[in-house]
Structure 1
Amino acid sequence: MISTVGLNIKALKKEPFSGSHHGMRYYLRTADDTLSVFLYPEPWSFERTPDEEKEQKDFPFSQEGLDAAIDWINQSYEAKRPYWNDRLQNRMKYLL
């Protein structure tokens, strides 16, 4: 589901990566040897989303860790698909 085209360890070392998929947004960043992944709902940016609406999981900063992070993002989407779809369909309601 989540495409990793253009996403690799070298790119993440230089700057964070963010994207979205059907109401679910994700943000990946590195610090030292850790890859931190955050999931949060539409419609806000990472910075504007309240911390209590973010879910975080850390992985080793390696290609295997990145692969595991992408798997976790995909599994999290499937596990909460109705929630993410609601956030997508009603994002204007959340803005008001």
Structure 2
Amino acid sequence: MVLKPEDLTEEEMLAAEARFPELAAKAGRKAYERALAEMGSVVVASGDWLVRRFADGSETLIKRLPPDLKVKRGVALTRNASSFLHQSRG
């Protein structure tokens, strides 16, 4: 049975919404594990590196990632054709 939002009390809705981060993390982990099992490797960010992880536990460094870009709240980032990030107020 699928409940519609209008079938829930405010308290039940808040309790359901509070579970979103947990459920999203669980789904992401499951997708990672399934991809690793089916494809034999996955590409992930690990620290400052883009890494290919293999099912046997070994890793290959692909490339160093650029440093994190600190962004002020309310600023929108866009990419142009030359891959530079531009900040604009949004």
Asked if TM exceeds 0.5, the reply is no
From the CA coordinates, give the structure whose radius of gyration is larger: 2
Relative contact order (C-alpha < 8 Å, sep 6+): which is higher? Answer: 1
TM-score normalised by the chain length of structure 1: 0.28
More helix by share: 1
